[in-house]
């Protein structure tokens, strides 16, 4: 019962943050509500017994990635977004279709999944058991991931680097 | 005991909010944040199914999704900086040409 209450409270936080992300027009407000969504999701992971994933969620997502976002928002001095004709068309057609799709998915899930329930803490998600699996069965994907990250670092440096200034002509 | 469908519906709501933000937001950075929101929704359903079927590999996949999201954020934000440097705008309606 306590778990259900915790789930509902932090699920409500999640949804409120996600809706706030859509409503706010200034990107920094959207970024802060996204951080709230991610921290509440970490609590949901803890309720599912996934301790390692919850810790990584806070450290990587709410920490590293969102700091990067906030940093870029401040670097580019991004202001309020201006409404254009295209955005009004997107709202008129986008919002109802997404609501319709979401309602359809929820209806199917509630109809078909029956009474399947997730027992709390039934699955050990502590760092030891996760790393046993990660470094034995998933060793090759893990190593490939390191190559991916290396490529991403190089790509970010190349893309964000200031283009070479045109050399001033030497006097003859 | 929380029903599995509750977790899946929460994950679906987050994904739908991400899709909606992707469609209606005009700021390049906010559009990018909506993509992160979609990835988070998918992660929640991964963890919920891992707990439901007692398969720890679901949590490993969440780890990989996070790594890809981090790489994507680094490269994507670098692209946004490069776009802003060339266009002086972050409005997606005005960024419709690959080359000026």
pLDDT digits (tens, 9 = 90+) for B20-42: 889 888 889 999 999 999 999 99
What distance in Å separates the CA atoms of residue B12 and residue B19, rounded to the nearest whole number?
10
pLDDT confidence of A162, banded at 50, 70, 90? Answer: confident
Strands (E), chain B: 2-3
Determine the average pLDDT of the residues in A67-72.
92
Residue of A nearest to B21 (CA): A22
> CB A117 to CB B24 under 8 A?
no
Residue B3 has φ and ψ, to the nearest 5°, of -60, 145
What distance in Å separates the CA atoms of residue A142 and residue A135, rounded to the nearest whole number?
8
Backbone torsion region of residue B97, taken as left when φ is above 0, otherwise alpha when ψ lies between -120 and 50, otherwise beta:
beta
Structural domain span for residue A17:
1-79
Contacts of B60 in chain A (CB under 8 A): 130, 133-134, 138
> Counting one residue from A and one from B, how many pairs have CB atoms under 8 Å apart?
245
Supply the ipTM of this predicted assembly. Answer: 0.91
Contacts of B32 in chain A (CB under 8 A): 69
Say if A30 is an interface residue toward chain B (CB within 8 Å). Answer: yes
Contacts of A48 in chain B (CB under 8 A): 7, 47-48, 50-51
Give the gap in angstroms from C-alpha B35 to the nearest C-alpha of chain A. 11
What distance in Å separates the CA atoms of residue A27 and residue A22, rounded to the nearest whole number?
10
Instruction: Evaluate if residue A171 carries a pLDDT over 70.
Output: no
CATH of the domain at A16: 1.20.120.1200
Q: How many domains does chain A have?
A: 2
For an interface test with B, the pick among A21, A83, A149, A153 (most B C-beta atoms closer than 10 Å) comes out as A21
Q: Does residue A154 form part of some domain? A: yes
- B51, B59, B91 ranked by CB distance to A82: nearest: B91
Q: H/E/C letters for each residue in chain A?
A: CHHHHHHHHHHHHHHHHHHHHHHCCCHHHHHHHHHHHHHHHHHHHHHCCCHHHHHHHHHHHHHHHHHHHHHHHHHHCCCCCCCCHHHHHHHHHHHHHHHHHHHHHHHHHHHHCCCCEECCCCCCCCHHHHHHHHCCCCHHHHHHHHHHHHHHHHHHHHHHCCCCCCCCCCCC
What distance in Å separates the CA atoms of residue A15 and residue A102, rounded to the nearest whole number?
13
Q: Are A33 and B33 in contact (CB under 8 A)?
A: no
> CB A159 to CB B79 under 8 A?
yes
pLDDT confidence of A113, banded at 50, 70, 90? Answer: low
Q: What is the pTM of this model?
A: 0.87
What distance in Å separates the CA atoms of residue A158 and residue A148, rounded to the nearest whole number?
15
What distance in Å separates the CA atoms of residue B44 and residue B48, rounded to the nearest whole number?
6
pLDDT (tens digit per residue) in A151-161: 999 999 998 88
* Class for the domain spanning B4-94: mainly alpha
**Which among A50, A43, A20 is positioned nearest to A129, based on CA atoms?**
A50
pLDDT on residue B95: 82
The radius of gyration of chain B's CA atoms, rounded to the nearest angstrom, is 17
Give yes or no: residues A1 and A64 share one domain. yes
Give yes or no: residues A75 and A13 share one domain. yes
pLDDT (tens digit per residue) in A122-133: 677 788 888 888
pLDDT on residue A79: 76
Q: Does residue A93 form part of some domain? A: no
> CB A18 to CB B23 under 8 A?
no
Give the gap in angstroms from C-alpha B97 to the nearest C-alpha of chain A. 16
> CB B9 to CB A31 under 8 A?
no
Q: In sequence order, what are the residues at sequence separation of 6 or more whose Cβ sits closer than 8 angstroms to the Cβ of residue A63?
A: none
Q: B30: buried, middle or exposed (CB in 10 Å: 19+, 13-18, 0-12)?
A: buried
Length of chain A equals 172
| Domain final residue, candidates A22, A53, A79 | A79
Determine the average pLDDT of the residues in A114-123.
65
pLDDT on residue A170: 59
Instruction: Evaluate if residue B65 carries a pLDDT over 70.
Output: yes
pLDDT confidence of A10, banded at 50, 70, 90? Answer: very high
Q: Does residue A137 form part of some domain? A: yes
């Amino acid at each position: 019962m306590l778990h259900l209450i915790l789930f509902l409270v932090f699920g409500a936080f999640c949804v409120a943050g996600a809706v706030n992300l859509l409503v706010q027009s200034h990107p920094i407000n959207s970024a802060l509500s996204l951080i709230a969504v991610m921290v509440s999701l970490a609590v949901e992971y803890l309720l599912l017994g996934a301790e390692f994933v919850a810790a990584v969620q806070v450290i990587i997502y709410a920490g590293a990635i969102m700091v990067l976002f906030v940093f870029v928002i401040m670097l580019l001095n991004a202001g309020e977004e201006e409404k254009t004709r295209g955005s009004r068309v997107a709202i008129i057609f986008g919002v109802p279709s997404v609501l319709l799709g979401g309602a359809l998915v929820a209806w199917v899930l509630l109809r078909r999944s029956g009474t399947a329930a997730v027992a709390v803490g039934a699955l050990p998600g502590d760092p030891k058991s996760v790393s046993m699996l990660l470094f034995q069965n998933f060793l090759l994907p893990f190593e490939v991931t390191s190559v991916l990250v290396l490529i991403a670092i190089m790509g970010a440096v190349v893309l964000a680097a200031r283009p070479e200034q045109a050399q001033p002509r030497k006097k003859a | 005991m929380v029903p599995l469908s509750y977790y899946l519906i929460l994950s679906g709501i987050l994904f739908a909010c991400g899709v909606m933000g992707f469609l209606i937001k005009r700021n390049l950075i906010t559009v990018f944040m909506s993509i992160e929101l979609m990835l988070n929704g998918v992660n929640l359903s991964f963890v919920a199914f891992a707990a439901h079927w007692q398969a720890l590999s679901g949590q490993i996949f969440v780890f990989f999704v996070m790594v890809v999201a981090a790489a994507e954020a680094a490269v994507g934000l670098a692209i946004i900086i490069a776009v802003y440097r060339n266009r002086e705008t972050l409005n997606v309606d005005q960024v419709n040409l690959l080359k000026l």
